[in-house]
Structure formats: C-alpha cells, structure tokens
Chain A
C-alpha cells in the first residue's frame, strides 16, 4: 500500500496525558498537512510542512500542540496535557509540489476521557 499511513487508528487517553500520532506520507510527496475534524464538520487546518520546514500554523494549534517532520519524511503530532475538547479525528494528508491535490490517510481518532 503506497497511500498515506497514520498510526494509531484509535487512541483513548485520560485527560492530562500526552499523546503522539504518526503520519507516513506518500514517499515522493514534499508537502504534508495536519487537520482536525469533529463530527459533522469539515477538516480544520492545523499545520503544513514543505519538506522539513513547518511553513504555516493555525491559531487552533495552541502551545499544547507541536508537530515535527524530521528529514522531510514522516511527521508526528504531539498533544500535551490533553483536554476533553481535543477529542476528534486527526487527519494527515500529503501532496507533491505540482500535484493535483492532497491525499489523506484514514485518520487517528482520539478520545479523551
């Protein structure tokens, strides 16, 4: 399978714990996006990388959130001191520089209890 891969698919955590999600993009794609989606809403932009450079961050990305893309390959999204409001589907997408569009992974569903 050469699509975008996200791990884990599901995560249940207690409030206050830290969680980390991983995204492996399509191998030749330079751009990588993170989104958050809640039920009945469209994906909300969180952050975007071109190669290893984080070019844009949404105001939604509070200081509890951090994303990295070392060496321009896989990416991680960490949420520190999770809150119940962080419960959502976290989606990763990748695209090439001149590609027709971004391709999404299946997402990581986070539940904070």
Chain B
C-alpha cells in the first residue's frame, strides 16, 4: 500500500539552529514529490517539486533533496517566521497526490 511518512511530528529549534525534516515514501509509479508549507488556518503553499533521485532545489533558507526512498527538507539558520507545518506529498503516475501528516516546526527567537 502507498505510504508517505514524515518525521519528526514536531520540531522545536532555536533561531539559527539548522536541522532537517524527513519524508519517506513507498509509492508505486512515483511521478513527483512536493513540499508545501502550511500556516494555521490557511491552505498549503507550494515550495518545491522534485522528480528524480539526486535532484536538489533551494529557496532562501530551505533546500529539498530526493533519494529513491525519501526526501529531506533542510532548513539552514531558521528564523521565527519559518515556523509552520511542512507537508510532503507524492504524485503517482495516475496524477493523484497523497500527503504525509506533516512536521510542525517551531523556531524560537
């Protein structure tokens, strides 16, 4: 059965303390992997798409990487405004997208 698992469930960091979020997946026919940011009460905001193992994407303090079994979202020197829930989703070849439960990130000043 297709599964998307994110870890940790919650992460508390001090401002400037770099860390990584994990998304592991078992999906038949992966077409792409997506990272989203979601603030409370709002819809998810698109961050990155990764299509093949070895691919990397960067945006400000965030960098996403992909292997055949997992993806990492690296956060370098985070700021309090990076606090949010980060969601990972996989898109299968039939084009539907399935999400993980998310990692709730809190960055303290």
A85 partner residues in chain B, CB cutoff 8 A: none
Interface size on A, residues (CB 8 A): 25
User: Are B46 and A101 neighbours in the complex by a CB distance under 8 Å?
Assistant: yes
Describe B's contact surface by its main secondary structure: strand
- For this complex, into which size category does the number of interface residues on chain B fall? 20 to 34
B36 partner residues in chain A, CB cutoff 8 A: 104
Tell me the smallest distance from the CB of A49 to a CB of chain B, in Å: 10
User: Are B94 and A102 neighbours in the complex by a CB distance under 8 Å?
Assistant: no
Tell me the smallest distance from the CB of A6 to a CB of chain B, in Å: 8
| The one of A31, A93, A103, A107 that contacts B42, using a Cβ cutoff of 8 Å | A107
Contacts A41-B101, A101-B34: A48 and B96 contacting too (C-beta < 8 A)?
A: yes
User: Are A45 and B98 neighbours in the complex by a CB distance under 8 Å?
Assistant: yes
| The one of B43, B45, B95, B99 that contacts A48, using a Cβ cutoff of 8 Å | B95
Q: How far is the CA of A107 from the CA of B39 in the complex (A)?
A: 12
User: Are B43 and A102 neighbours in the complex by a CB distance under 8 Å?
Assistant: no
Chain A residues proximal to chain B, CB less than 8 Å: 4, 31, 33, 35, 40-45, 48, 50, 55-56, 91, 93, 100-107, 109
